[in-house]
Structure 1
Amino acid sequence: MKYAKPSRGQAAIAQLIAAGAVILAWGLALPGVAGAADSLVHARDFQADARAAAKRQVPILVVFTSPGCGYCERVKQDYLIPMQKDPASRKRVLIREVTLGASTPLTGFDGAPTTEGAFAAEHKVYMVPTVQVFDTRGNATGDAIVGLLIPDYYYGYLQSAIDAGANKVRGK
């Protein structure tokens, strides 16, 4: 069977379709990468985080969570992940997540090795979700926000805690 040679226009269209298919396939292969933006960064090294926060003159907001906690997921999905994605919020605060009871290694603000669970216990966090804002030396900058409280006002509570932390970091 013989086929007619495609014209230049048909060949160009075929190349564009092939390129589009490759791009689409590549995009479909990236759900894990896209999903990464839909989660918070787990704390691994608070000493390094403190250096980064000091350079930017921002406080560090830590949300303490536990697996299977519906209120934790709501706080993360409704408030903290959108804040983490927002460029203006990223300029105001560094956000980290710590899991209660987890044995995941963590470097504390003092540089000492610990775990997520031990860090939570050291800060007397036993209920989740708990949000605590720290200065760049690891000192709490105000009272912790324990629970979801009143959802209509929760964003305001977070902003007030971040503002108080920013004032302490900047020496105001």
Structure 2
Amino acid sequence: MFRFYLLLLVLVSNFATSQDLALPLAKNLLEDAQLVRKNETPILIMFSIPNCPYCQKVKQEVIAPMNELDEYKNKVIIRHVNAGTLKDMKDFYNNDTNHGRFAFQNGINFYPTIFLMDNYGANLGKIIGVPSMDYYWTELDKVIDKSITKLKRQLKAEL
């Protein structure tokens, strides 16, 4: 009986930890692309794989808190792609794909990778890996700001 409760405790604590790090999964990037045009905000896509300690650290210390802050809700649309899964999703052109294939199609081979994308799925900025955890948030902020500037310039040129 003791083993049962111990196992239950471990499962519940692992579930709570994974829930704390839950990020909005990429499901339909065409719908997200419409928000990009409407709000003039890029899509921040975090590509990660299971059992990647740096992925967990970036999720826990940067992306998950960023997802909760009002300041960033008006700056970026945050989505997560778990490249180690075959979770179904739609790409920017409404094609059926999955998380693993989408990561492969975008040339992702190092994790974590952050892409900032426009409404067509073009890359506006990126961070590959974790150059320095101490300055990661600051560097990501710079990439976000540059991406917003590029996106607004692109959208203005389309008119």
TM surpasses 0.5: yes
Matching of residue 86 in structure 1 with residue 69 in structure 2: yes
> What CA distance in whole angstroms lies between the structure 1 residues aligned with 2:107 and 2:59?
21
Aligned equivalent of 1:149, options 131, 134, 138: 131
Matching of residue 73 in structure 1 with residue 56 in structure 2: yes
Matching of residue 128 in structure 1 with residue 94 in structure 2: no
Which string of whole-angstrom CA distances, capped at 9 and with x for unpartnered residues, describes residues 135-166 of structure 1?
Answer: 11110013x31111111111111111111221
Shift of 1:103: 1.0
> What CA distance in whole angstroms lies between the structure 2 residues aligned with 1:75 and 1:115?
23
> What CA distance in whole angstroms lies between the structure 2 residues aligned with 1:38 and 1:100?
16
Shift of 1:54: 1.8
| Structure 2 SS opposite 1:44 | coil
> What CA distance in whole angstroms lies between the structure 2 residues aligned with 1:67 and 1:36?
14
> What CA distance in whole angstroms lies between the structure 2 residues aligned with 1:105 and 1:39?
17
| Structure 2 SS opposite 1:148 | coil
Aligned residue type for 2:140 = L
Percent identity over the alignment?
Answer: 30
Shift of 1:53: 2.2
Aligned residue type for 1:159 = D
> What CA distance in whole angstroms lies between the structure 2 residues aligned with 1:100 and 1:169?
26
Which structure's CA Rg is the greater one? 1
Q: Which runs of 5+ in 1 are unaligned?
A: 1-31
Which string of whole-angstrom CA distances, capped at 9 and with x for unpartnered residues, describes residues 55-75 of structure 1?
Answer: 111000101001111110100
> What CA distance in whole angstroms lies between the structure 2 residues aligned with 1:38 and 1:153?
20
Q: Which runs of 5+ in 2 are unaligned?
A: 1-14, 155-159
Aligned residue for 2:93? 110
Aligned residues: 139
Aligned residue for 2:29? 46
| Structure 2 SS opposite 1:171 | helix
> What CA distance in whole angstroms lies between the structure 2 residues aligned with 1:162 and 1:118?
25
Matching of residue 170 in structure 1 with residue 152 in structure 2: yes
